[in-house]
Amino acid sequence: MTGNEQKYIAQAFESNWIAPMGENVNQFETEVAAYATTNAAAALSSGTAAIHLALQLLGVGKGDRVFCSSLTFVASANPILYAGAEPVFIDSEEETWNMSPWALQKAFAAAEQEGKLPKAVIIVHIYGQSARMDELIALCSHYGVPIIEDAAESLGSTYKGRKTGSLGTFGIFSFNGNKIITTSGGGMLVSNDRRSIAKARFLASQAKDEAPYYEHSRVGYNYRMSNVLAGIGRAQLEAIELRVGARRDVYNRYFTAIGSHPAVKFQPELEGTRSNRWLSVMLLDPEKTERSPDQLREWLESENIESRRVWKPLHLQPLFAGCKFYSHNAHGKTAVSEKLFEQGLCLPSGSDLEPIKQERIIHLIEEILK
């Protein structure tokens, strides 16, 4: 917490607007839209809700198809199932760990031949690093398919000077407790299309039609953010650049200390981009060390230090068994996302991680790699 949250919370209590509407909600939407350089934003209960509404606004329904990054948290793809649509998963590429343009091209070519192009493509900016948006946008534009940017992990990151979340038809942010800024729970849908954002607010408020009584002509949702939580978000957003700076400092300390180890690689930062380094993530090359990510994780856990494996690709999840998957690599070679999962470990990366504590973590990593 920044220490300034109580001011906005107090304003919510003083105004007696505690429910999902009020001045904090209005101002938080305005402030996030301005920061993201988009025309409008809708404050919601979660980033997952934002993806679901984006799919609704794009008309995704039963029997439709949606392409989605495979290396991501399940929340990126669950809304596809909410809509009754079919997820198709796209592999990562090595330079960003995000959606591979080459795999996406394969998926588009196959879908075109089948006569069933997707209704949307969900591109995730994993661990704060933006995807190769020029190539991905060019492909989606060629096939006339809109992009939903899942920027849940990348608030504060940029791609060639532009904020992630502002490059697609819709962008989504998450303010869950583990994100770079938090409202304790919440999300935001952003877009340059003001009408669509207004419709998102309508759908997120149980789709109440204009009438002197409760009239409903379509399905709505209870997805709006509370005025109290929006107040927390306003104070948090004021500190976003400090948070990005702190996370990048954490990453730089890791990279300086252990980045030269022959078995260690860190997530790259594509030229022309700035990652918020939401999480510092390392790979262990099995050809250069006998230590595995799980061994390192267990060693750190024995010292009361939490680390986590890289996201298990969604095409490997039991929930999505049978879904199509397009690999970055040629047939028979391990998919990039699978390799990242097998070799990757997310290290402690909090904005408040003190250098002396990080030195202890680094020392333990060095010891187990000896």
The last residue of a domain, from among 183, 209, 239: 239
CATH of the domain at 39: 3.40.640.10
Q: How far apart are CA 351 and CA 359, in angstroms?
A: 15
Residue 280: both structure tokens together? 């510092």
* Shared domain check, 319 and 181: no
Domain match, 194 and 289 both: no
Domain range spanning residue 352?
241-369
Please give the pLDDT value at position 15: 92
Question: What whole-number distance in Å separates Cα of residue 273 and Cα of residue 109?
Answer: 29
Smallest Cα–Cα separation from 345: which of 302, 299, 287, 276? 299
Contacts of 323 (CB under 8 A, 6+ apart): 86, 87, 88, 89, 314, 315
pLDDT for 230: 97
CB 358 within 8 A of CB 253: yes
| Alpha helix positions (H), 75-173 | 78-82, 101-114, 133-143
pLDDT in 10s for each residue of the chain, 370 residues: 899 999 999 999 999 998 888 999 999 999 999 999 999 999 999 999 999 999 999 999 999 999 999 999 999 999 999 999 999 999 999 999 999 999 999 999 999 999 999 999 999 999 999 999 999 999 999 999 999 999 999 999 999 999 999 999 999 999 999 999 999 999 999 999 999 999 999 999 999 999 999 999 999 999 999 999 999 999 999 999 999 999 999 999 999 999 999 999 999 999 999 999 999 999 999 999 999 999 999 999 999 999 999 999 999 999 999 999 999 998 889 999 999 999 999 999 999 999 999 999 999 999 999 8
For residue 19, give every residue at least 6 positions away whose Cβ sits within 8 Å of its Cβ, in sequence order, or none: 226, 227
CB distance 38 to 28 below 8 Å? no
296 shares its domain with 191: no
Same domain, 27 and 142: yes
Q: What is the pLDDT of residue 18?
A: 87
Is 171 in the same domain as 37?
Answer: yes
Residues 202 and 332 in one domain: no
Please report, for the domain that includes residue 349, its CATH number: 3.90.1150.10
Tokens of 29: 């939407």
CA 311 to chain centre: 12
CA–CA separation, 261 and 286 (whole Å):
13
Regarding whether 98 and 18 lie in a shared domain, the answer is yes
- Which of 184, 206, 239 is the last residue before a domain boundary? 239
Domain shared by 172 and 71, yes or no: yes
Length of the chain (residues): 370
What residue has token string 């997952």? Answer: 48
For residue 263, the one-letter residue type is: A
Identify each DSSP E strand in the chain by its residue range: 40-44, 65-69, 86-90, 120-124, 147-150, 158-159, 162-163, 170-174, 187-191, 264-266, 273-274, 280-284, 308-309, 325-326, 344-347
User: How far from chain centre, in Å, is Cα 305?
Assistant: 24
* Same domain flag for 82 and 9: yes
Count of structural domains within the chain: 2
Q: Which residues on adjacent β-strands are paired with residue 214? A: none
pLDDT for position 332: 82
Backbone angle region of 273, left / alpha / beta, with phi > 0 → left and psi within -120 to 50 → alpha = beta
Among residues 58, 49, 57, the alpha carbon closest in space to that of 20 is found at 49
